[in-house]
Amino acid sequence: MDEKMLKDLHDAVARDLLSKVASGNATAAELSVARAFLKDNGIDATPGQSEPLNDLIKNLPFDTEAA
């Protein structure tokens, strides 16, 4: 495969995953693939940098005060 083909494939995977996640219809498996895709590409977020991440943390069913 040449470099352009690999870039096109990477872009297509990213667009497909984004579409599924944004629609709210992503399966658990697709969300796992999206998570791995981000991790494999060095993308992460830390609390405080990402409002959606902060919202997720606030809604997790864990007692953070007990830790």
What does the alpha-carbon distance between residue 24 and residue 29 come to, in Å, rounded to a whole number? 13
**26-55 pLDDT, tens per residue?**
999 999 999 999 999 999 888 888 888 888
Task: Count the domains in the chain.
Answer: 1
Give, for 45, the enclosing helix (H) or strand (E): none
What does the alpha-carbon distance between residue 63 and residue 7 come to, in Å, rounded to a whole number? 43
What domain range includes position 54?
A: 3-66
Give, for 3, the enclosing helix (H) or strand (E): helix 3-23
pLDDT > 70: percent of the chain: 93
1 or 67: which leads in pLDDT = 1
Q: Which two tokens stand for residue 40?
A: 């494999």
What does the alpha-carbon distance between residue 18 and residue 63 come to, in Å, rounded to a whole number? 31
Check: CB of residue 26 under 8 Å from CB of residue 50.
no
